[in-house]
Structure 1
Amino acid sequence: MSDSVALLLKELKLPAFVRHYQSLWDTAVEKSWSHTDYLAALCEYELSDRYQRRTQKWIREARLATSKTFTALDNSSLSRPNQAVLAKLQQDTDWAHNADNVLLIGPSGTGKTHIANALGHRLVEQGVRCKLFPAIALVQLLQQAKRDLDLMTAVTRLDKYRVIIIDDIGYVKKTDAETHVLFEFIAHRYESGSLIITANQPFSEWDQIFPDSMMTVAAVDRLIHHATIIELEGESYRKQHQLAQAKSSKSKST
């Protein structure tokens, strides 16, 4: 009988039921559970299992760095206002459902990419699908689609992600071909999907990205209209780490 039940549960695609229905039945008998209690416990296992599998799949799909989470982030280097803003973004993900943006601006090595990845992890944990692109890779994808006369299809295909993370937007080359597809993408996402963008340059220097001032103003205007802007300052984490290593090596040799 148990074999036939297991086969039926496999057909119904209930793997957690298959793994736990016998052991839980023993517990149910021992503790005098009702049939409803037993079924509810099995459903809890199944839901937990599905959540774990979905989360792992979406993190792989999003191409998030597994080590760049909020747990691994050194908050001590962040200002208190930035810590408070990040805490709010973690606790309340309504901004992603409302197509609001998060813009991380600051010098290289100050933690922008780490924070962007950490926000991605948090979103996936909350059931929000996202995907990270280095800015150059995204532009290359869009350029190829445009050459194939399929740009709108490619852009629309990315709509399945509530949040797109564009890392290092400042590395996009200032050419008509690259910046036009990037601008079209930003315009398409405006008020329909969220963007998390990291940039080394302040907005006043974004004319280095777009070919003319009108396009720069239009792009920035769309991005900041519904946005949380986090400005990061301080010395590069990588430089601090190198200095700490050098200091440690020196102290060991003396």
Structure 2
Amino acid sequence: MNDSVALLLKELRLPGFVRHYKSLWEKAVEDGWSHTDYLSALCEYEISDRYDRRTHKWKREAQLQTGKTFTEFDVSRLSKNNKTSLAKLQQDMEWSHHADNVLLIGPSGTGKTHIASALGHALIEKGVRCKSFPAIGLVQLLQQAKRDLELMTVMSRLDKYQVIIVDDIGYVKKTDAETHVLFEFIAHRYESGSLIITANQPFSEWDKIFPDSMMTVAAIDRLIHHATIIELEGESYRKKHQLEQIKRKKKETT
């Protein structure tokens, strides 16, 4: 085997083959592999390399929060029902292929953003492309697109993401310009792409987000039609963690 093979493999865009064909050939000769065994092993390396590259690229573009995965999440904080719901979302991600939504509702600091980000990481690892936006950032993007007469173009461009995370929807200002583009986005994604939405307010207070009751009802109706709703309760995890750190420091200094 000579270097011309490497050039051919590069031309074919098979970097996994390029990296491993020599070492695997030596092993194949030593262990008496058939040509099929050798080719199969190379293909496994190529598939693994492609998965790693794709996962790295998709996580970078998704802009998920670093470190907020299920490994770092304290599931014991959740109620039994919420644990069951979250386990189902993790184990069977078909919901993301059926344009189902996930709505995380609860006070600040109860883990909504962490769960949303953790779902994003898990989805990408399962080959589902997703993108995370702060709600205000998404609305600003859509407003600019509407001013440029490109709102439908931008929303269609976002369709490449099977799942879009909208974090802190309650922070969107209740103005016609902002809420109308947000409603148009929700309507556009309805039954065509999944949304993971976090909100501090229960649905009964969503009239603070949308300018009139009809729009509020229509938005909620579209979101909950095919959705898993997880309502989080309890003390702010961030506040609790901060108090524990203060107590620990006091003990260390006494």
Amino acid of the structure 2 residue aligned with 1:73 = F
Q: Counterparts of 1:106 and 1:140 in 2: how far apart (Å)? A: 24
The one-letter code matched in structure 1 to 2:159 is D
Shift of residue 220, structure 1, vs aligned partner: 0.3
Residue number in structure 2 paired with 1:207: 207
TM-score by length of 1: 0.99
Aligned to 1:49: 49
Shift of 1:206: 0.2
Q: Does 1:144 align with 2:111?
A: no
Deviations 1:147-193 (A, max 9, x none): 01111111111111000100000000000000000000000100010
**Helix, strand or coil for the counterpart of 2:46?**
helix
**What is the 5 A alignment of 1:58-137?**
58-137=58-137
1:243 counterpart residue number:
243
Q: Aligned ranges for residues 179-194 of structure 1 at < 5 Å?
A: 179-194=179-194
Cα-to-partner distance string for 1:194-244 (whole Å, 9 max, x where unaligned) = 000000000000000000011000000000000000000111111011110
Structure 2 counterpart of 1:155: 155
User: Could you tell me how far 1:250 is from its partner in structure 2?
Assistant: 1.5
Q: Which residue of 2 aligns with 1:22?
A: 22
- Matched position secondary structure for 2:70: coil
TM superposition shift of 1:66: 2.4
| In 1, Cα distance between equivalents of 2:35 and 2:80 | 52
Which aligned runs of 4 or more in structure 1 are off by greater than 6 angstroms? none
| Unaligned runs of at least 5 residues, structure 1 | none
Residues 168-179 of structure 1 mapped to structure 2, 5 A cutoff? 168-179=168-179
- Quote the residue 2:3 is aligned against: 3
CA distance in 2, matches of 1:198, 1:116: 8
CA distance in 2, matches of 1:126, 1:26: 33
Aligned-pair CA distance for 1:249 = 1.4
Deviation of the 1:253 alpha carbon = 2.1
Question: CA-to-partner distance for each residue in 1:111-137, whole Å, 9 max, x for gaps?
Answer: 000000000011101111100000000
Whole-angstrom distance in 1 between the partners of 2:65 and 2:201: 23
* TM-score normalised by the chain length of structure 2: 0.99
**Total equivalences in the alignment:** 254
**Matched residues, percent identical?**
80
